[in-house]
């Protein structure tokens, strides 16, 4: 949160430790409001002007009130779990896995607010001039939970697990540009790339890129803020504070992680006080939580994509007029307002949301809801009906499709909805049926987000839209370090997808979770549920 | 006579288990997607799928997989979960305990209540108390259990804060804490299974009450309570035991909705998870336990009926 009243650079957080101590002492020592005498004292010691000193003190006091408290424990209920819960980072696929991963392990880099890659186990990282090599300097003195010291060998081993024919890593294809991981010193690792990639640190912050001990598959022993005490797949796990953590350490003494698969029961557990964090709250429950006196809603604007795939390799998606008809019939504002209850942002038929920050193309106007244009394009396409396969792959997607169906009916187009279960959906329907729905979690960089779905020939190119220029631009943007040029490349890509691909994206959902009122300090990371699962180290109880 | 019957039934029981295992195997194979596809989900690529399939042995033909499973099962090895890599016995162990504990408590509470209420209603047919019981049980049979469960949570947990909304066990609680944690699912299940048992008890006894020998007893001037306890109850016990057995088997295998709503880690939910991940060894193991439970309980019920009714011992 940015405090508008304080001048830039005058935040308690930005002070040097000595000044912080001084403010601390003065604020704690002197009870009651800030007096002019206090301000004078601070001004004399630090040499800042009187008004600045006064502001500092007031600001310092409000920061004091929000200083994390140590101690306590909480229970978190995720949305899915089962016997396939795992502690092996390379096959993490669900929020509960991501959370346990963040509790137990660390990555080389960590995704922070504003999608910045921050140092984690790597205390610094640098590319060579054209970003074809990255050197990661590993923090000294980090130990695993079993007492073994972290070395470059562990890092190289962990990263190599994503490579090779037999790797079952789910992010294997994202890390394909790394041709080799090399140990260049006891605490230094080098990634040698086959093509330039300025975003590699962002990739190192992916849930699956956690560092495990050499020779292991994780097994619950990491360098993370909590030590695993027990783990029962599909039931729960208990984690206690890691006393030897290399940073300041977590605020809580213990966390318990479980899941309640039924969404209504999950919210009830939060309201009844049995759970302090519940992941993934459905729009139907927003009002119930917001009007409750014991719980609050955490809604972080994100790029959680609600998509309709029109496959370009089959009818009717191979007809671009049909796709344009589908795009113009989307009442984006209404979907955000009614279906997502305002907790979302409109989509512009490309996968980049405003939450992606600088890479979002604000120059490209949002495609309006235009039934006349839709009618024109549908007519030109020669189709008067189509069948869309819908499964509840994310909250609201069925209602969004119903909205489209109703709007289609108004212009005489018969959009049939075939409801199918999510069970088996990804193998049997997605990327197979000509028209289907999809949801994509937000990825930490715009390049991954665009590349994963729209790179020519990509494994998950779910509309089979292969555009050579797109492939070129993805590479150019990755190697580009000039922000203006980079933005231009990303804008061109978004425009291409917006106009030519088979993807219809009416909206992005916020990431919505429920918290007990006293749960504080959850970072504003939009890449997944509950602050991109980055909460365990920072959360505290008021 | 009795021993022969029991041996025969045990033999049939094993045959049933085998048939069920084949059906489950075929059914799970028909479902779209295999465990590799489900585990990788949206993030599957042909290469990672192939790697995972090879690791799990899914690249072998189905009959090889089936018979290797059957062979392991025959020597008591339940195998390893395809989805998570844990041994099936470790996954099932704790959950079977939870399921049996829940089923046990529900039976301890509901069976005496049901039989007492059923008998009592049968002793006073047509009175307004009987009508209340009849009306109440009929309504409760018609209401789905998730509805009872949700209402109970809203009232007792969210509004009144008397009971926890989830049956969350830490494993270290005292007896009363455990009872408090289990209270909600217990209440729901007791309501669901009692209704049926009460009705069956009442109907079974009233049915017997219309037979000639009861008429004889009435004409002799035997008091109604004594007629029911001495003459009618023993003759009605067969169907009652059968209903109880079916309800117990349901408590072991069929309470998935209650387990889901209260996040209770029981066996039924585990089987659903297994089906969802196409985790064949896990599904098979659960199915064998459920099927075995039915076989054993129905066998016990039949033995009970025969013991209580000498006529059944010499079938014509």
Going from N- to C-terminal start, the domains of chain B cover 88-270
Among all residues of chain A, which has the CA nearest to that of B41?
A: A426
B266 and chain A: CB distance < 8 Å anywhere? no
Task: Give the whole-angstrom CA distance, residue A155 versus residue A125.
Answer: 14
* pLDDT confidence bin for A195, thresholds 50/70/90: confident
Instruction: Report residue A323 as tokens.
Output: 């796709």
B157 and chain A: CB distance < 8 Å anywhere? yes
Containing H/E element for A226? Answer: strand A226-232
Higher pLDDT, residue A36 or B293: B293
Task: Give the whole-angstrom CA distance, residue A528 versus residue A539.
Answer: 16
**Are A426 and B42 an interchain contact pair (Cβ–Cβ within 8 Å)?**
yes
DSSP 8-state class, residue A170: T
**Are B91 and A269 an interchain contact pair (Cβ–Cβ within 8 Å)?**
no
* pLDDT confidence bin for A52, thresholds 50/70/90: very low
* pLDDT confidence bin for A110, thresholds 50/70/90: very high
- The 10s digit of each residue's pLDDT in B56-85 is 777 777 788 888 888 877 777 777 777 667
* pLDDT confidence bin for A405, thresholds 50/70/90: very high
- C-alpha distances out from residue A139 to A109, A121, A189, A239, Å: 11, 6, 11, 24
Higher pLDDT, residue A417 or A9: A417
Mean pLDDT, residues B196-207 taken together: 88
Instruction: Report residue A307 as tokens.
Output: 């998509």
Give the fold, CATH level 3, of B88-270. MetI-like fold (1.10.3720)
Least trusted range by pLDDT, from A137-146, A345-354, B17-26: B17-26
pTM for the predicted model, two decimal places? 0.79
Asked whether the predicted pLDDT for residue A59 surpasses 80, the reply is no
Q: What pLDDT sits at residue A267?
A: 92
Least trusted range by pLDDT, from A321-330, B76-85, B218-227: B76-85
Task: Tell me the count of A-B CB pairs closer than 8 A.
Answer: 140
Q: What pLDDT sits at residue A114?
A: 76
Asked whether the predicted pLDDT for residue A79 surpasses 60, the reply is yes
Q: Give the gap in angstroms from C-alpha B32 to the nearest C-alpha of chain A.
A: 6
Q: Give the gap in angstroms from C-alpha B164 to the nearest C-alpha of chain A.
A: 6
- C-alpha distances out from residue A502 to A131, A142, A327, A388, A473, Å: 32, 48, 9, 13, 19
Q: What pLDDT sits at residue A41?
A: 52
Containing H/E element for A440? Answer: strand A435-440
Q: What pLDDT sits at residue A171?
A: 87
Q: Give the gap in angstroms from C-alpha B22 to the nearest C-alpha of chain A.
A: 22
Least trusted range by pLDDT, from A110-114, A407-411, B104-108: A110-114
The percent of residues above 90 in pLDDT, for chain A, comes to: 63
Check if the beta carbon of residue A108 is closer than 8 Å to that of residue A209: yes
* pLDDT confidence bin for A119, thresholds 50/70/90: very high
Torsion of CA A478, A479, A483, A484, to 10 degrees: -100
Residue with tokens 């076989």: B295
What are the residues facing A255 on neighbouring strands?
A74, A239
Name which of A367, A360, A368 is nearest A493 in CA terms. Answer: A360
B274 and chain A: CB distance < 8 Å anywhere? yes
- The 10s digit of each residue's pLDDT in A264-285 is 889 989 998 889 999 999 988 9
Name which of A445, A323, A304 is nearest A374 in CA terms. Answer: A323
Q: Give the gap in angstroms from C-alpha B240 to the nearest C-alpha of chain A.
A: 35
Name which of A258, A264, A421 is nearest B261 in CA terms. Answer: A264
Q: What pLDDT sits at residue A37?
A: 52
What mean pLDDT value characterizes chain A?
A: 86
* pLDDT confidence bin for B268, thresholds 50/70/90: confident
Higher pLDDT, residue A523 or B24: A523
Check if the beta carbon of residue B86 is closer than 8 Å to that of residue A83: yes
Q: What pLDDT sits at residue A66?
A: 67
Among all residues of chain A, which has the CA nearest to that of B282?
A: A83
- The 10s digit of each residue's pLDDT in B140-155 is 888 888 888 888 888 8
Least trusted range by pLDDT, from A151-155, A169-173, A517-521: A169-173
Q: What pLDDT sits at residue B60?
A: 77
Asked whether the predicted pLDDT for residue B34 surpasses 50, the reply is yes
* pLDDT confidence bin for B269, thresholds 50/70/90: confident
Higher pLDDT, residue A470 or B177: A470
Mean pLDDT, residues A113-134 taken together: 89
- The 10s digit of each residue's pLDDT in A212-269 is 999 999 899 999 999 999 998 888 999 999 999 999 889 999 999 999 888 888 998 9
Vertex A117 angle, CA A116 and A123, to 5°: 135
Q: What pLDDT sits at residue A149?
A: 95
Q: What pLDDT sits at residue A27?
A: 47
* pLDDT confidence bin for A30, thresholds 50/70/90: very low
Dihedral sign for Cα B211, B212, B213, B217, please.
positive
């Amino acid at each position: 949160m940015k405090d508008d009243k304080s001048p830039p650079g005058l935040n308690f957080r930005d002070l040097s430790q000595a000044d912080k101590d001084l403010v601390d002492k003065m604020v704690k020592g002197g009870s009651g409001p800030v007096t002019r005498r206090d301000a004078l004292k601070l001004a004399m010691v630090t040499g800042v002007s009187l008004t600045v000193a006064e502001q500092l003190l007031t600001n310092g006091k409000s920061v004091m009130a929000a200083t994390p408290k140590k101690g306590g424990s909480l229970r978190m209920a995720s949305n899915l779990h089962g016997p396939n819960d795992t502690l092996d980072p390379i096959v993490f696929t669900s929020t509960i896995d991501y959370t346990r991963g963040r509790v137990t392990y660390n990555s080389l880099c960590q995704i922070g607010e504003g999608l910045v890659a921050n140092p984690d186990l790597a205390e610094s990282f640098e590319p060579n001039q054209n970003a074809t090599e990255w050197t990661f300097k590993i923090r000294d003195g980090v130990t695993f939970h079993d007492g073994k010291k972290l070395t470059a060998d562990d890092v190289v081993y962990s990263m190599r697990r994503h490579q090779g024919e037999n790797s079952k890593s789910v992010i294997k294809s994202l890390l394909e540009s790394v041709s080799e991981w090399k140990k260049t010193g006891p605490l230094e690792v080098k990634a040698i790339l086959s093509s330039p990639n300025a975003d590699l640190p962002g990739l190192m912050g992916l849930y699956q890129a956690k560092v495990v001990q050499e020779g292991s598959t994780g097994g619950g022993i990491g360098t993370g803020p909590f030590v695993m005490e027990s783990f029962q797949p599909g039931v729960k796990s208990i984690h206690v504070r890691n006393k030897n953590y290399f940073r300041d350490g977590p605020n809580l003494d213990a966390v318990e992680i479980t899941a309640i698969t039924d969404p209504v029961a999950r919210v009830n557990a939060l309201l009844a006080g049995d759970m302090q964090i519940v992941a993934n709250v459905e729009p139907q429950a927003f009002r119930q939580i917001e009007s409750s006196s014991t719980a609050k809603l955490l809604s972080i604007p994100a790029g959680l994509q609600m998509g309709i795939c029109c496959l370009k390799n089959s009818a009717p998606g191979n007809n671009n007029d049909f796709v344009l008809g589908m795009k113009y019939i989307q009442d984006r504002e209404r979907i955000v307002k009614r279906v997502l209850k305002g907790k979302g942002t409109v989509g512009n038929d490309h996968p980049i949301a405003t939450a992606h920050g600088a890479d979002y193309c604000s120059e490209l106007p949002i495609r309006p809801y235009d039934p006349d244009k839709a009618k024109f394009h549908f007519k030109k396409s020669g189709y008067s009906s189509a069948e869309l396969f819908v499964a509840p792959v994310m909250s609201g997607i069925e209602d969004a499709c119903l909205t489209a169906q109703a709007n289609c009916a108004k212009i005489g187009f018969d959009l049939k909805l075939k409801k199918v279960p999510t069970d088996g959906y990804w193998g049997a329907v997605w990327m197979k049926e000509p028209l289907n729905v999809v949801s994509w979690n937000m990825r930490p960089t715009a390049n991954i987000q665009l590349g994963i779905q729209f790179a020519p020939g990509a494994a998950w190119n779910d509309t089979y839209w292969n555009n050579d220029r797109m492939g070129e631009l993805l590479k150019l943007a990755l190697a580009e370090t000039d922000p203006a040029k980079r933005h231009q490349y990303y804008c061109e890509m978004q425009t291409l997808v917006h106009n030519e691909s088979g993807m219809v994206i009416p909206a992005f959902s916020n990431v919505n979770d429920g918290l007990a009122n006293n749960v504080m300090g959850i970072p504003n990371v939009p890449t997944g549920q509950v602050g991109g699962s980055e909460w365990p180290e920072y959360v505290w109880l008021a | 006579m009795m021993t022969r019957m029991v041996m025969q039934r045990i033999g049939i029981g094993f045959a049933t288990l085998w048939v069920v295992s084949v059906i489950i195997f075929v059914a799970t194979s028909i479902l779209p997607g295999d465990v590799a596809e489900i585990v990788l989900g949206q993030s599957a690529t042909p290469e990672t799928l192939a790697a995972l399939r090879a690791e799990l042995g899914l690249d072998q033909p189905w009959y090889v997989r089936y018979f290797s499973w059957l062979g392991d099962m025959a020597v008591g090895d339940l195998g390893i979960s395809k989805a998570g890599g844990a041994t099936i016995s470790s996954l099932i162990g704790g959950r079977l305990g939870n399921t049996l504990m829940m089923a046990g408590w529900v039976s301890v509470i509901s069976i005496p209540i049901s039989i007492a209420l059923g008998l009592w209603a049968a002793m006073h047919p047509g009175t307004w108390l009987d009508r209340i019981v009849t009306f109440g049980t009929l309504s409760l049979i018609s209401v789905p259990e998730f509805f009872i469960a949700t209402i109970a949570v809203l009232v007792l947990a969210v509004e009144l804060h008397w009971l926890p909304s989830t049956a969350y066990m830490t494993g270290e609680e005292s007896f009363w804490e455990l009872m408090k944690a289990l209270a909600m699912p217990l209440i729901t299940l007791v309501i669901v299974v009692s209704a049926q048992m009460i009705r069956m008890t009442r109907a079974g006894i009233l049915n017997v009450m219309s037979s000639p020998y009861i008429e004889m007893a009435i004409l002799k001037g035997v008091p109604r309570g004594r007629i029911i306890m001495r003459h009618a109850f023993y003759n009605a016990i067969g169907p009652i035991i059968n209903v109880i057995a079916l309800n117990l088997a349901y408590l072991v295998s069929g309470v998935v909705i209650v387990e889901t709503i209260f996040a209770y880690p029981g066996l039924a939910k585990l089987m659903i998870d297994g089906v969802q991940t196409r985790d064949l060894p896990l599904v098979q193991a659960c199915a064998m336990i459920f099927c075995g439970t039915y076989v054993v309980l129905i066998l016990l019920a039949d033995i009970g009926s025969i013991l209580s009714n000498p006529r059944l011992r010499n079938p014509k």
